[in-house]
Chain A
């Protein structure tokens, strides 16, 4: 009996303390702060130690200039970041300001989790007009790009020199690029291959579509290309698969999580230009160079600037004004540019870009983006919901193609079935 009484007491105490804790919740705070009584906004980002250090400096600078706002920063790794956001979005606890990735833009924007930044004051005058659509959904602005990256072909000049192959000049057709890969493979003697199969890279496919004036996704979120387009694309390297021009899929798997290019197994790689620092670190190469992607139409390279990350605010934030001022500061302030350099990508805002001095690796990337300026077209709208899954399955199906498990027709059928199911599911 004692125990039952104890049990009831415990329950009573527990309930009472829970109620007390609930009552402790802070009263509704005021919308704006003052220097004596600043408001605190939460800002969250993903990234490593280096980014944490730089962001801390930027926040200190912002707080120094805006005495009425305190910024509470926190960070996690990229994978955990999205798990945490998903839970917070469902529980109504998203931080006020967040660093954002393009592939999650439409998902959260459509579910009204993000603040319409058109309703607050953020200066976008210094932004390239071709870039802004990537943060917009149906005319509403949900994200402001902090920085950009562009697609490129990387190569290691030292490796080409050792094989006696001339460096590419940056204007090539697909046939010329394929011939180049074949030459590297032939002279590489089994130690050096041309590249990873570039037809397995979704963004490269997307750029090829743009070169042929096809949009990957229609405005209503359907696929904008046909099965035949995809077959044609995968046929581009049909003659190279299984030859030393392309590193075998077995080898790629063995080297993971490092890329074949970062492991010094291939001479070239197509990817985003902000991978430069990572590749230099992984490969230990002295110098890496960037040239534009191949195209059969020399006037249309299909290139565009993609926001490497964006700044967004939570739709539920109590401090819209403070959040907007912080976003404006992070994307426009020249001193912030000087702090981050190109670690977020090349600064998107011209004021920030001009206020930053770039050296070494940073300069290579900035110069590359400057060199392709004349080819740039409007960035595509944020990709459809579930795009991440489509990109992964694109890579997986094309890797099966390389393993020889699928024919090109079979691969195209397999991917289209997955894509159509996914689009139907999310419609």
Chain B
């Protein structure tokens, strides 16, 4: 590593020797800085344009969305779309859709964090017979396309009489069926020094104690990224709820969103976009709240590594 790193490091060293900051006036520096920020802002604008378009369109009347209207702002600014969106669909209020989405998302987060961390501990720290085979099988489920298992799964849940409940959507999360998260946590735990649990073991701690008192606190960054991803995936999941839920009162937001745009009848794009804006808020808030933990997690990781 050091051999590789030396020439790489020497290159910028050389250039800094050639480059005399004092010879350059502060004016040029400022121009450079302004140019850099202008370019960065322009790029941000391009990236954020779809979001901006969505927010702007949510305040426009339906006939001005899409088609020949390309301007972002409309003179007919109004909150009508939000009023329509909040009215709900077919006698079910939008608040109900939100609640359903929240129940599913929180259930998914709790289930995934609990089950994936316990399974990961087993794979990373306990030597049980057949561990590598089970681990291999778990990884193999990652390679199995989701669409292959849809119908067999549906048949099982249908025969158990569990269709039109949240159980088919949540049970997998509580049984660590999301191999991705288990794998993520196993990799994280393998990086934690084994001396820590050896020390605890000498002090008489069992697996439960080691898991709760040593592993869980250290795994905070992994737990948080798992929470964020499982929250967002569950919040945005369309196919699962579509297949397993039959009663509109149990629908989460993604199903409700689609109902505003019906190609076979008139489409209320305005209300759909307004509802999309509302549906994005929780995800955004969730991310903003936990985002500092991600940054924190990555930086502490760096120090330990």
Interface residues of A (CB under 8 A from B): 2-4, 14, 18, 21-22, 24-26, 42, 44, 46-53, 55-56, 72-80, 83-84, 87-88, 90-93, 95, 255, 257-258, 262-265, 277-278, 281-284, 343
Q: Which residues of B contact A343 (CB under 8 A)?
A: 265
Known: A90-B151, A284-B63. A76 touches B255 (CB 8 A): yes
Please report the total number of B residues contacting A with Cβ < 8 Å: 46
Q: Is the CB of A265 within 8 A of B68?
A: yes
Report the nearest B residue to A343, measured CB to CB: B265
In whole angstroms, how far apart are the Cα atoms of A315 and B242 in the complex? Answer: 22
**Which residues in B have their C-beta under 8 angstroms from that of A3?**
122, 126, 128, 207
What 0/1 readout, one digit per residue, does chain B (263-274) give for beta carbons within 8 Å of chain A?
111111000000
CB neighbors of A among B229-267 (8 A): 238-239, 242-243, 246-248, 255, 258-267
* Chain A residue with the shortest CB-CB distance to B152: A91
A78 to B246, CA, bound (A): 15
Q: Which residues of B contact A51 (CB under 8 A)?
A: 262, 265
Give the distance in Å from the alpha carbon of A76 to the alpha carbon of B246 in the complex.
Answer: 9
Q: How far is the CA of A3 from the CA of B210 in the complex (A)?
A: 13
* Chain B residues with CB under 8 A of A87: 150-151, 154, 243
Q: Among residues 146 to 186 in chain B, which have CB atoms less than 8 Å away from a CB atom of chain A?
A: 150-151, 154-155, 158-163, 175
CB <8 Å contact, A282 and B67:
yes
Inside 8 A of A95's CB, which chain B residues have their CB? 246
11 A-B pairs besides A263-B68, A281-B63, A282-B67 with CB distance below 8 A are: A3-B207, A18-B160, A48-B262, A49-B90, A83-B239, A93-B154, A93-B158, A93-B163, A255-B66, A264-B68, A278-B265
Q: List chain B residues, Cβ under 8 A from A80.
A: 238, 242, 255, 258
Give the complex CA separation of A84 and B241 in angstroms: 10
From A280, which residue of chain B is reached at the shortest CB distance?
Answer: B266
User: Chain B: interface secondary structure?
Assistant: loop
Docked CA distance A47–B259 (Å): 7
Residue from A18, A74, A258 within 8 A of B246 (CB atoms): A74
Shortest C-beta distance, A259 to chain B (Å), equals 9
Provide a sorted-by-A list of 12 A–B residue pairs whose CB atoms are within 8 angstroms: A3-B128, A26-B161, A48-B267, A51-B265, A75-B90, A76-B259, A78-B264, A87-B150, A257-B267, A264-B67, A277-B265, A281-B62
Candidate in B66, B87, B163 with the most chain A CB atoms within 10 angstroms: B66
Do B62 and A84 touch across chains, with their CB atoms under 8 A apart?
A: no
- Output the least CB separation between B39 and chain A (Å): 28
Contact B261 A21 (CB under 8 A): no
Chain A residues, CB < 8 A from B243: 83-84, 87
Counting CB contacts under 8 A, is B124 at the interface?
Answer: no
Closest A-B pairs by Cβ, 10 of them: A52-B90, A263-B67, A77-B258, A91-B154, A48-B262, A258-B67, A49-B89, A91-B155, A278-B266, A284-B63
Question: Could you tell me the distance between the alpha carbons of A24 and B243 in the complex, rounded to whole angstroms?
Answer: 22
Q: Mask for B52-70, Cβ within 8 A of A = 1, else 0?
A: 0000000000110011100
Residues of B within 8 A of A84 (CB): 242-243
B150 engages A48 (CB within 8 Å): no
Chain A residue, CB-CB nearest to B271? A49
Rounded to whole angstroms, the CA-CA distance of A46 and B159 in the bound complex is 25
